[in-house]
Structure 1
């Protein structure tokens, strides 16, 4: 199954993109799926115009002059839950993150298969007890469903208990592409269905948790899949208002499962990355204010082009420290203050620290960031 290949007449594609550009400039909400697909294929001057429209939209729905970021630390649930003798206690990792200036702990991944189901809750309790003022962003939909199944309770009951124990929000990752055929292929037949993912996210929103929203591109999906995915996220946001931000991530071949090594795009083109971010900004206009660049998945130049093509946020600094254990795919990836200031200057914005919920951090949590003149 390789769905991604799609061929179009080059001249016709340019004409379709130009026509769609005229429509999107007037009223993005009026575009058809085929028009969005045409924009996803934009190249050259049409692509530049599309990105300029997306950046104009960014300025209208945010303060326009800031490059926002959160100070956080990533933890791998499986590593933390194992309580290995060669690693520091969870409480020490949380305490160190707090002293380094973090306002968020992000934790993803399942607990070990032989661990009791309530260990998910115990981890929440330990983190919250160690640093009640840190926001805990943890447990993707697969982990939420795993926890509820192991504990023998409905998903809504687990989420309520986790929220009461100190969980603040859940990552909307593992969304991949919300199409059952694509998900079945990516997950080698064992991925949760679209219905299950949507049910889990909407249930989280219903108990007072917010979440991120994501799209994984650059594998077997087509532009029509990308548009349908973004439309579905818009629908959820209209019903719940529970998404805090949208994050688009290319599939990194080195991190792909073995059965995807021949399918994952070896290098997602910068053209496609610019187009999909610009389209995402415009198609979600009025529903999502924040579009985040997944800087760990891109080189510096691509990150900067995304930031001048619709994205307003650069995500987390991903704090490192003396005690930091393996943190999954982002292990060893740290965006330091100097990098942040340099990127902000190059895209004409001022760095501004935020919390997970896009509010201002407490005064004692604000990092000393040199300001740049937009």
Structure 2
């Protein structure tokens, strides 16, 4: 046993430790926010969530378990406790596994590099040994800084850069006292093979490899559906996101979806789609220049009308499982971002963006909410948690019930 008081210490938006009690309670909150289980008429569908411990992948895991009763496998890459606490995703996974077991859901979690064939082999074996050798759904939600190609051994690194010319934008930071500041930052454009490297990491190559790997082992059920989670975002952030290196990767992801959709439709009567989710505070998004400011202003405009990731993923699961038909745009994408990209909302955010300075920002953005959301990523600022009390940090990785 190793109990200690965990205080929030951060460098910008990056926290050095995570709070296991806060992470556990946050997962409980997310589960309770899901509408009542839709009866599946027996055992729930078998699902694989790749990137299951954070952001939209965590929301997909919890929404799938609580809404449609999935059973199956979550894959993530987390670090256990050592000199510092475990990563927040480690604690969130332990909490998710506990809730799944309490509700009678057979959910196994694999900790490893999802890009590797070794993890794919491990997952394939679990599908055979534990879930009858068939998979009904796969949700792909991976955000990573690098990827090793299993065939060549080449290591690719993703970058957050504009394409063509430098990008200057406002961004939100907090000084050492916690006071908000609006600064201008300039990001140099992509050079060399930056775009190709980013596409190799964040595009559709690994998603397609997963589908091929499982299909070659005859593990995909008739009617199999798969969704890769994506984002388009606002014109205010387009130069660094949708029109930047990450945008090129997202375009590749969407192209991959169309290829997979045709293939799965012909062989299994299945579907492949990208799901365009809406803005949220995630560990990945806070690293993108301008996104913190944009999300804070969006919350200032919409307040509680913002739809949390778990609510968006309930909508996606309802569509993937046929509770309601797939609602696709003209490019074959599920759109869960209509509330964010509503023209009136975007006009209001753009007006506040233009007016945002260090002196005006507190009246334009919901900074209290934003700060709490960042802290909640690491298990802090969660109501009902006593942060002055010691907490057990040596939480084991969940092992499946026999």
**TM-score normalized with structure 2 length:** 0.33
Q: Which has the higher helix share?
A: 1
Q: Which has the higher strand share?
A: 2
